[in-house]
Amino acid sequence: MKSKLLLILLLPAFLSAGISAQDKVNVKFGSVSPKDFENKVYSIDSNASAVVIADVGSSVIEGNSKGWFSLVYKHYKRVHILNKNGYDVSNVSILLYSNGDDEEVLDRLKAVTYNLEGGKVVETKLDVKTNVFKDKLNKNQVVKKFTFPNVKEGSIIEYEYTIISDYLQNLQPWEFQGGYPRLWSEYTLSLPEFLGYVFLTQGYKSYDIKTEKSQMESFRVVDSRGIGASDRIQFNANVTDYRWVMKNVPTLKEESFTSTLDNHIAKIEFQLSEYRHPLNYRRVMDTWPKLADDLLKSEYFGEQLSKDNGWMKDMLEPLRKASPSKTELAKNIYNYVRDNFTCTDKSDVFINQPLKNVGKTKNGTVAEINLLLTAMLMHEGIDASPVILSKKSHGVTYSLYPLLTQYNYVVVAAKPDDKTIFLDASEPGLGYGYLPLECYNGHARIINKTADAVELSADLVTEASMTSVFVINDEKGNMIGSMQRSPGYYESYSLRKRIKEKGKEELAKDVKKDFGMEVEVSNFIIDSLDKYDEKLGVKFDFDVKGEKEDILYINPMFGENWKENPFKSAERAYPVEMPYAMDITYNLQMEVPAGYVVDELPASVIVKLNEADEGLFEYRISQSGSSVAFRSRLRISRAYFMPEEYPMLREFFAFVVKKQSEQIVFKKKS
């Protein structure tokens, strides 16, 4: 089961003991000397294009003049750019929260580029007034951007700024790890006892320094917004100072079978949960049932689900008449929405228009289309509820905490009979009862009265495929054959999309290219192309071309083998996240080529992934008279593997690749 709890992986110290042993970072804004340019390569990563020398942040909470409290966040960063591939680090974006006319304040921004010229350090300062640009991302986010001036290979850049925020829910998170190695990454937080936050940590590297200490501090709140005298409140409260430091933090590089690196980088986040004494106690973080109830009543989500929605009658009448059962009706409604509506935004939880308007225009976001599907099913007396989840690329969610910002997708849970099925009508060509693989990302929530939790794990999806190949000799003694493939459902779904975009001819060309030998492909047929609930059937005939040598080497898998090990790195610091479990079977019946005898067959073997039999590789081959029979089966019964299981998985697939590359040797008869 996926978890965002902090897991510990002890990594070697890459730098000198001087850096590793120190308690405080020895870097100060503006203090750059020629010595700082000496390193052309850093031992933490000899291939790095840039190295973060220091990344330091702090957050404190102070009383303000608006009768409340403000968050004051300070950020300092210094980076050594080693070559042009590291220039992207000189482009800086600072996110700010916006609520109408009220916006977090970016203050005291300074940014300087340092270059070593003639043995002297030359400074180029950013003109903050003219070269900082602002973009509005959405109704609640703006970004201020700038690019460091005069950046060259070898430049050192540094910047610092302060953000003042009146939104206590926006306590700044901190990433200790990023796209470049970091020699020192530090975050401090001073948290008064009258504010409760949930700390959410993740990553696979332990803190080098982690401390907390408490002391009493005085808080002064002034309300000067009225026309009379200002109201002033002063009180003492206990404050806890937290400090987290990571040294010599390597880059977390993206590898195969990774949902998103954001799930695995070392970071800490905060969610406001409650106000405490001496403030009036108030619970800020809702329970799941309370959040679900609020969503169902919200005009931006579920309010329209509980209405009569009589406008749907004409749309649903022909579907109802063509449906002998509730299950058939649910399927017909789903197919209608899927085939007649266009999704305009694949990453949205809230609706921006009434569902009636979505029904008229046949356009909507994923939330609008799937909430419309929910409403149509409910209108026909079918049990249906919306489900919120986070796509894999958006990151995993915390099941304990109802944090709506973590969710970016809506699907439907329907129960037309005794079985609950999940539906997504925003995806063209997706079958009834299937979800996109991106949705199988762990915890999700059904938005109903009880806010039921759902585990949409990739381990629940098994992609089973079957390939059968028959090879014989024709009357001229040439090898001819036929192949019949039944790919797994999601491979079938991908092939349908590919055929729609490029046509069957391109697929036939790719099949020929992947064959592993010179062949001519004919009678290329694809079955069930328009039956979205079913797997495809791919059939074709082939003629083997080429000169007949004294010795023939033929791979019995005819291009269907794994060509390379997907697990290339020797080590891995975070889990393997395959999109599904797999069960791949390949069968061959082959007539020995005319005029040849079998000289050598690969050895048969059966290998298990582990003692729990969660993976199996079967390779069986035999000869009987003039016929060769071959079977290969690869089964992996789960999709998620922890880092400590990686060497086992890597070794297993290395064996599969090596074995499936072996060839049958045929020798001409004497």
Residue type, 17: A
Q: Are strands 479-486 and 462-473 parallel, antiparallel or unpaired?
A: antiparallel
Question: Cα 82 vs. chain centroid, distance in angstroms?
Answer: 30
DSSP letter at 45? B
Residue-wise pLDDT tens digits, 413-423: 999 999 999 99
Alpha-carbon gap, residue 465 to 316, rounded angstroms: 37
Distances (CA, A) of 38 to 251, 293, 487, 512: 22, 61, 56, 55
Residue-wise pLDDT tens digits, 431-450: 999 999 999 999 999 999 99
Q: Spell 319-353 as b/e; 16+ CB within 10 A means b.
A: beeebeebbebbbbbbbbbbeebebeeeebbebee
pLDDT the model gives residue 308: 87
Question: Cα 41 vs. chain centroid, distance in angstroms?
Answer: 32
**Is 18's pLDDT higher than 60?**
no
**Across 627-646, average pLDDT:** 97
Alpha-carbon gap, residue 51 to 36, rounded angstroms: 12
Q: Are strands 576-577 and 640-641 parallel, antiparallel or unpaired?
A: antiparallel
- Where exactly are the structural domains of the chain? 49-283, 288-456, 462-668
Q: Are strands 267-275 and 195-202 parallel, antiparallel or unpaired?
A: antiparallel
Alpha-carbon gap, residue 230 to 413, rounded angstroms: 54
| Percent of the chain whose predicted confidence (pLDDT) is above 70 | 96
Residue 423's CB is within 10 A of a number of other CB atoms, namely: 28
Among 379, 466, 389, 376, residue whose Cα is nearest residue 422: 389
pLDDT the model gives residue 307: 87
Q: Which fold has domain 462-668?
A: Jelly Rolls (2.60.120)
**Is 567's pLDDT higher than 90?**
yes
Among 72, 26, 277, residue whose Cα is nearest residue 188: 72
Decide: 521 and 460 in contact? Cβ < 8 Å.
no
pLDDT the model gives residue 4: 36
Q: Are strands 581-591 and 462-473 parallel, antiparallel or unpaired?
A: parallel
Decide: 592 and 628 in contact? Cβ < 8 Å.
yes
Among 347, 271, 351, residue whose Cα is nearest residue 303: 351
φ, ψ of residue 78 in degrees (nearest 5): -130, 135
Among 176, 177, 175, 173, residue whose Cα is nearest residue 253: 177
Q: Specify the CATH class of 288-456 in words.
A: alpha beta
Assessment of whether the complete model's pTM goes beyond 0.75: yes
User: How many residues in the chain?
Assistant: 670
Three-class secondary structure assignment of 593-630: CCCEEEEECCCCEEEECCCCCCEEEEEEEEEECCEEEE
Q: Tell me the two tokens of residue 602.
A: 């690969």
Decide: 43 and 17 in contact? Cβ < 8 Å.
no
**Is 14's pLDDT higher than 60?**
no
Alpha-carbon gap, residue 96 to 132, rounded angstroms: 14
Alpha-carbon gap, residue 331 to 162, rounded angstroms: 55
Alpha-carbon gap, residue 44 to 13, rounded angstroms: 8
Q: Tell me the two tokens of residue 410.
A: 């809506």
Alpha-carbon gap, residue 411 to 203, rounded angstroms: 29
**Across 94-107, average pLDDT:** 92
Among 464, 510, 503, 512, residue whose Cα is nearest residue 487: 464
Average pLDDT, whole number, for the chain?
93
Decide: 537 and 584 in contact? Cβ < 8 Å.
no
Decide: 445 and 439 in contact? Cβ < 8 Å.
no
DSSP letter at 83? S
The three-class DSSP label of residue 175 is strand
Q: Which helix (H) or strand (E) segment is 241 a member of?
A: strand 231-249
Instruction: Give helix then strand counts, H and E, for the chain.
Output: 10, 36
Which residues lie closer than 8 Å to 618 by C-beta, 6 or more apart?
A: 606, 631, 632, 633, 634
Burial label, 248 (beta-carbon count in 10 A; 0-12, 13-18, 19+): buried
Among 523, 517, 519, 510, residue whose Cα is nearest residue 480: 519
Decide: 74 and 81 in contact? Cβ < 8 Å.
no
Among 340, 300, 291, 347, residue whose Cα is nearest residue 318: 340
What residue has token string 């940590």?
201
**Is 17's pLDDT higher than 80?**
no
**Across 203-232, average pLDDT:** 88
Q: Tell me the two tokens of residue 19.
A: 């850096």
Decide: 349 and 340 in contact? Cβ < 8 Å.
no
Decide: 370 and 411 in contact? Cβ < 8 Å.
yes
pLDDT the model gives residue 305: 94
Among 191, 147, 153, 182, residue whose Cα is nearest residue 59: 191
- Say how many CA atoms lie within 13 Å of 241 toward its Cβ: 6
**Across 455-477, average pLDDT:** 96
Alpha-carbon gap, residue 194 to 199, rounded angstroms: 16
Distances (CA, A) of 61 to 138, 169, 224, 596: 27, 12, 19, 84
Which residues lie closer than 8 Å to 128 by C-beta, 6 or more apart?
A: 109, 110, 111, 146
**Across 354-372, average pLDDT:** 96
**Is 428's pLDDT higher than 70?**
yes
Question: Model confidence at 382, in pLDDT bands (50, 70, 90)?
Answer: very high
Q: Are strands 105-117 and 120-125 parallel, antiparallel or unpaired?
A: antiparallel
Among 232, 151, 225, 236, residue whose Cα is nearest residue 192: 236
Residue-wise pLDDT tens digits, 127-157: 999 999 999 988 789 999 999 999 999 999 9
Residue-wise pLDDT tens digits, 279-300: 999 999 989 999 999 999 999 9
Q: Tell me the two tokens of residue 305.
A: 């689900």
Q: Tell me the two tokens of residue 379.
A: 């209108």
CATH number (3.90.1640.10, 2.60.40.3140, 2.60.120.380, 1.20.1250.20) of 49-283 reads 2.60.40.3140
What residue has token string 């991908």?
494
Alpha-carbon gap, residue 71 to 190, rounded angstroms: 10
